[in-house]
């Protein structure tokens, strides 16, 4: 009887050992097979790390545009965009663009802008010189019937600080001091709402803005504004 019990126990132990060996081999096969392992959450970049990468990307791209000759597209079309893409090839969020360039958008308008519907442009004006522009698009989910009239009111309220708040993207190559930034801007109604400004090197330029159907366009020349309006409000055939 004792021998029979011992025999049964040996069989149970052997069976258990076989099961353990089977599952060990099976798991190793899965790991070494075609099923890719997903990275642990701890290895994925944090939001702060992604933001810092985006900030560096924007700053690097603006420096590159400043140093480079106008693209073939810019020469042919008279305008080209400066595209800011994250490591995953998605558009850099507007919040990271603001941090990278240190621009400030008037709060009334900012709360109605889309997170990624914005763009920076340049228009070649001979040789390697460029005029710059920026577009801020509405968040369509927040848009309402009187948003455009309200936006025009907000833009007028912004006029006195527009140079201070947007000079890093409208005049990225200019070395403004505080006195330059504090110049008294006198906006007028023309083809577009505009103000003449004096550049640090003594040259003259302007800030022009237009409230489009989808957002706001701000440029440093009338000709560049006309090209951007053709992009955002093309004439219907």
**What CA–CA distance (Å, rounded) separates 36 from 92?**
28
User: What are the two backbone dihedrals, phi and then psi, of residue 36, each rounded to the nearest 5 degrees?
Assistant: -70, 140
Average the pLDDT over 119-140 and give the result: 94
Which range among 10-14, 50-54, 144-148 shows the weakest confidence by mean pLDDT? 10-14
Statement: residue 151 has pLDDT above 80: yes
**What CA–CA distance (Å, rounded) separates 44 from 42?**
6
Residues 212, 216, 217, 220: what is their CA dihedral angle, to the nearest 10 degrees?
Answer: 130
- Picking from 105, 161, 164, the residue whose alpha carbon sits closest to that of residue 135 is 105
Interval 66-94: pLDDT, tens: 999 999 999 999 999 999 999 899 999 99
Query: What does the mean pLDDT of the chain come to?
Result: 86
**What CA–CA distance (Å, rounded) separates 189 from 191?**
7
Interval 203-233: pLDDT, tens: 999 999 999 999 999 999 999 999 999 999 9
**What CA–CA distance (Å, rounded) separates 214 from 111?**
15
Looking at residue 235, its pLDDT comes to 72
């Amino acid at each position: 009887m004792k021998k029979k019990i011992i025999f049964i126990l040996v069989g149970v132990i052997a069976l258990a050992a076989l099961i353990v060996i089977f599952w060990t081999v099976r798991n190793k096969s899965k790991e070494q097979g075609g099923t890719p392992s997903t990275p642990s959450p701890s290895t994925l970049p944090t939001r702060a790390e992604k933001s810092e990468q985006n900030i560096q990307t924007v700053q690097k791209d603006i420096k590159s545009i400043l140093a480079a000759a106008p693209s073939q597209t810019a020469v042919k079309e008279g305008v080209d965009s400066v595209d800011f893409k994250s490591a995953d090839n998605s558009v850099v969020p507007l919040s990271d663009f603001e941090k990278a360039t240190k621009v400030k958008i008037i709060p009334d308008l900012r709360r109605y802008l889309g997170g990624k519907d914005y763009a920076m442009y340049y228009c070649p004006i001979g040789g390697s010189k460029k005029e710059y522009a920026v577009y801020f698009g509405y968040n369509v989910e927040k848009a309402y019937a009187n948003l455009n009239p309200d936006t025009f009111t907000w833009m007028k309220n912004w006029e006195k600080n527009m140079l201070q708040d947007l000079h890093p993207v409208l005049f990225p190559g200019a070395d403004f001091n505080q006195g330059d930034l504090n110049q008294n801007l006198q906006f007028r109604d023309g083809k577009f709402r505009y103000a003449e400004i004096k550049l640090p090197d003594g040259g003259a330029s302007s800030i022009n803005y237009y409230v489009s159907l989808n957002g706001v366009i701000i440029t440093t020349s009338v000709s560049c504004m006309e090209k951007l309006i053709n992009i955002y409000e093309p004439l219907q055939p």
